[in-house]
């Protein structure tokens, strides 16, 4: 089976500042990987790369058996492979929960009917299933801007599931939630992924949750992989070193 | 020192304006009674011209509606070229400059030029409104485009939605209410501004103001004036009601 993703010596710079340095990583299909690391470590950059949205990087990268290009976006039909759960949810506020989830399926429809809101039976079924899985069935007709943060997060997850991805990418999916909610959401994401037999890569600032919900934890610091271990073997020293240890080019920067 | 200078300049400007015989300021003392006499001649308004007044109002309304319609079409195209988020600065900067220039030309001046170009009647009025309104509307539309939140659009793109699908299901839902509000607002302005177009021969109720005043039929001019006031008040009421709904 092809790997969920493989990165070979991938580097990326934003205006000359390194965001990723020679990152080599890979994950087996169905594997759950957590990305840990201080702010600015490169977690979001890495996830955007895996989603095929980053341009101008160097190295070799492939996701779900498809090589990524540093200069060109993936063709439309291949973009459904990786489903992305955005940190700020990225919902269309004025649309209903139902339509927001339906938006995850647009790539699978013929363009013309989809523009008039005529969606196929299969699409309605998948949306209903995604709403069911995320406990949103009762809120389907509610507008997205009339939801709580936790509910919005679940809409974002439902949209991702409706896309029928073969790999779920989530950028700090629980950073805006209270601890109990955070656990439930991570349980929801990983549970839904397990049910579909697909892998999850998520970033987090909560080492405990990362260890609990991922099989493997990757520590990023200043754009480089500092450790890469099965969750059970991550020690508190690893965590301490990740957040407090000295690293080249890291540390607080002067805000001008 | 700076403040003293401002006062001196102000005083000089007023003296300079008044110190010319052509301003006719010597007639000022006699103006008040004459104004009174004039107003007296407007009373009572001659309501027998209601047919002409209604016709004039209908024509003004038509000019405003068609002018707005064409301005919307033009603005939709120009807005894309004026949107910072869609085209390079080398395109949107000159386009915005052009729109600012269009806005800066007073409508009545545009109307006079249009009358010169296509002759008397409602057509130059429609063209003038179209031209003038596009300067504002295209800018508003461009701002509506620029204010669209990027994240939901990126989310749909990441999910594989086509460009038109992104437009329909992420961009349009964010823009539609703004566009609607701006268009209604501009229509109200168009209606008000087109009331005077007839004075320069560009159609609508203004023609009757012109005709009646020139021929000293002040009682009829009074009727027209009243009709205009009613129309403006009515459009203001409609607009404020709509504003409440869209805010
Ligand atoms: N669009 C951008 N333009 C310029 N620099 C960027 C951009 N995005 C990220 N960076 C920089 O790249 C580095 C990595 O950023 P990234 O967002 O990947 O970090 P992160 O690990 O996700 O941090 P956080 O935990 O705060 O979300 C940072 O130094 C950041 O300032
Ligand atoms: Mg981040």
Percent of chain A with pLDDT over 70: 95
Predicted-complex ipTM score: 0.86
Q: For residue A226, count other CB atoms closer than 10 A to its CB.
A: 17
Which residue intervals of A134-235 are DSSP H helices?
149-162, 179-196, 207-213
Q: Flag whether residue A173 sits within 8 Å of chain B, measured between CB atoms.
A: no
CA A176: distance to chain centroid?
Answer: 15
A45 within ligand 1 shell (Cβ under 6 A): yes
Question: How much is the pLDDT for B154?
Answer: 92
B26-41, pLDDT tens digit by residue?
Answer: 777 778 888 887 788 7
| A251 — pLDDT class (breaks 50, 70, 90) | very low
- In angstroms, the CA B221 to CA B208 distance is 7
Judge whether B199 lies within some domain: yes
Mean pLDDT on A192-198:
91
Q: Could you write out the DSSP letters of every residue in B171-182?
A: IHHHHHHHHHHH
A51-72, pLDDT tens digit by residue?
Answer: 999 998 999 999 998 998 888 8
Residues of B within 8 A of A77 (CB-CB) are 160
Looking at the predicted structure, is the pLDDT value of residue A252 above 70?
no
Question: How much is the pLDDT for B185?
Answer: 87
The residue segments making up the domain with residue B67 are 60-245
Judge whether B108 lies within some domain: yes
CATH for B183: 1.10.3720.10
The domain total for chain B is 1
Question: How much is the pLDDT for A248?
Answer: 47
Least reliable range by pLDDT among B62-66, B86-90, B125-129: B86-90
Q: Flag whether residue B173 sits within 8 Å of chain A, measured between CB atoms.
A: yes
| A255 — pLDDT class (breaks 50, 70, 90) | very low
- In angstroms, the CA B132 to CA B186 distance is 11
A172-179, long-range: CB < 8 A, 24+ apart: A172/A43, A172/A44, A172/A87, A172/A202, A172/A203, A172/A204, A172/A205, A173/A85, A173/A87, A173/A202, A173/A204, A174/A204, A174/A206, A174/A209, A175/A87, A175/A204, A175/A205, A176/A149, A177/A149, A177/A150, A177/A153
**Cβ contact A91–B152 (<8 Å):** yes
- In angstroms, the CA A200 to CA A191 distance is 10
Both tokens of A189, joined, read 């994401």
A223 alpha carbon, closest ligand: 1
Peptide bond into B137 cis (omega under 30): no
Looking at the predicted structure, is the pLDDT value of residue B68 above 70?
yes
Judge whether B32 lies within some domain: no
3-state secondary structure of A71: coil
* Closest residue to B174, CB basis, from A52, A92, A106: A92
Judge whether B8 lies within some domain: no
Domain annotation for chain A: domains and CATH numbers: 1-44+56-81+201-249 (3.40.50.300)
**Cβ contact B160–A163 (<8 Å):** yes
Looking at the predicted structure, is the pLDDT value of residue B133 above 50?
yes
Q: What is the 3-state secondary structure (H, E, C) of B21-84?
A: HHHCHHHHHHHHHHHHHHHHHHCCCCHHHHHHHHHHHHHHHHHHHHHHHHHHHHHHHHHHHHCC
Residues 6+ apart with CB under 8 A from B28: none
pTM: 0.78
Query: Cα A45–A47–A48 angle (5° rounding)?
Result: 65
Mean pLDDT on B199-215:
81
Judge whether B18 lies within some domain: no
Judge whether B181 lies within some domain: yes
B149-167, pLDDT tens digit by residue?
Answer: 999 999 999 999 988 999 9
The residue contributing the CA closest to ligand 1 atom 30 is A40
Judge whether B172 lies within some domain: yes
| A246 — pLDDT class (breaks 50, 70, 90) | low
Percent of chain B with pLDDT over 70: 98
Least reliable range by pLDDT among A40-44, A211-215, A234-238, B8-12: A234-238
Residues 6+ apart with CB under 8 A from A222: A18, A21, A40, A41, A42, A247, A248, A249, A250
Question: How much is the pLDDT for B159?
Answer: 92
Judge whether B10 lies within some domain: no
| B70 — pLDDT class (breaks 50, 70, 90) | very high
Looking at the predicted structure, is the pLDDT value of residue A249 above 60?
no
């Amino acid at each position: 089976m092809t790997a969920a993703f493989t990165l070979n010596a991938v580097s990326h710079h934003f205006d000359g500042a390194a965001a990723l340095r020679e990152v080599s990583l890979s994950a087996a299909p169905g594997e759950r990987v957590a990305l840990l690391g201080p702010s600015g470590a490169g977690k979001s950059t890495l996830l955007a790369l895996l989603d095929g949205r980053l341009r101008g990087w160097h190295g070799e990268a492939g996701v779900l058996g498809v090589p990524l290009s540093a200069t060109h976006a993936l063709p439309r039909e291949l973009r459904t492979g990786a489903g992305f759960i955005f940190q700020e949810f990225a919902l269309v506020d004025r649309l209903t929960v139902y339509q927001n989830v339906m938006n995850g399926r647009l790539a699978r429809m013929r363009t013309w009917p989809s523009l008039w809101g005529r969606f196929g039976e299969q699409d309605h079924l998948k949306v209903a299933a995604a709403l069911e899985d995320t406990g949103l069935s009762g809120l389907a007709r509610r507008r997205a801007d009339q939801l709580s943060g936790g509910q919005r997060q679940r809409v974002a997850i439902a949209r991702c599931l409706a896309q029928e991805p073969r790999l779920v990418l989530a950028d700090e999916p629980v950073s805006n939630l209270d601890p109990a909610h955070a656990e439930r959401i991570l349980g929801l994401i990983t549970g839904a992924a397990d049910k579909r037999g697909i892998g999850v890569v998520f970033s987090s600032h909560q080492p405990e949750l990362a260890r609990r919900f991922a099989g493997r934890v990757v520590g990023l610091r200043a754009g480089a992989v500092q450790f890469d271990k099965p969750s059970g073997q991550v020690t508190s020293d690893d965590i301490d070193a990740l957040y407090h240890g000295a690293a080249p080019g890291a540390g607080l920067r002067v805000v001008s | 020192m700076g403040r003293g200078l401002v006062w001196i300049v102000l005083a000089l400007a007023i003296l300079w304006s008044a110190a010319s015989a052509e301003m006719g300021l010597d007639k000022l003392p006699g103006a008040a009674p004459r104004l009174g006499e004039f107003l007296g001649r407007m009373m009572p308004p001659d309501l027998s011209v209601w047919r002409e007044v209604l016709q004039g109002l209908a024509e003004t309304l038509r000019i405003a509606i068609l002018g707005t319609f064409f301005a919307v079409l033009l603005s939709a195209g120009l807005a894309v070229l004026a949107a910072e988020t869609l085209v390079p600065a080398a395109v949107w900067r000159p386009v915005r400059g052009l729109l600012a220039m269009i806005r800066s030309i007073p409508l009545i001046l545009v109307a006079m030029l249009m009358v010169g170009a296509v002759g008397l009647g409602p057509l130059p009025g429609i063209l003038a409104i179209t031209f003038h309104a596009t300067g504002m509307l295209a800018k508003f539309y461009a701002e509506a485009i620029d204010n669209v939140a990027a994240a939901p659009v990126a989310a749909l793109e990441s999910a594989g939605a086509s460009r038109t699908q992104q437009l329909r299901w992420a961009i349009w839902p964010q823009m539609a209410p703004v566009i609607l509000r701006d268009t209604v607002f501009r229509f109200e302005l168009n209606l008000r501004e087109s009331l005077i177009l007839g004075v320069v021969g560009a159609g609508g109720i203004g023609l009757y103001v012109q005709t009646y005043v020139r021929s000293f039929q002040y009682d009829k001019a009074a009727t027209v004036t009243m009709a205009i006031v009613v129309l403006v008040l009515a459009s203001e009421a409609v607009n404020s009601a709509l504003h409440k709904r869209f805010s």
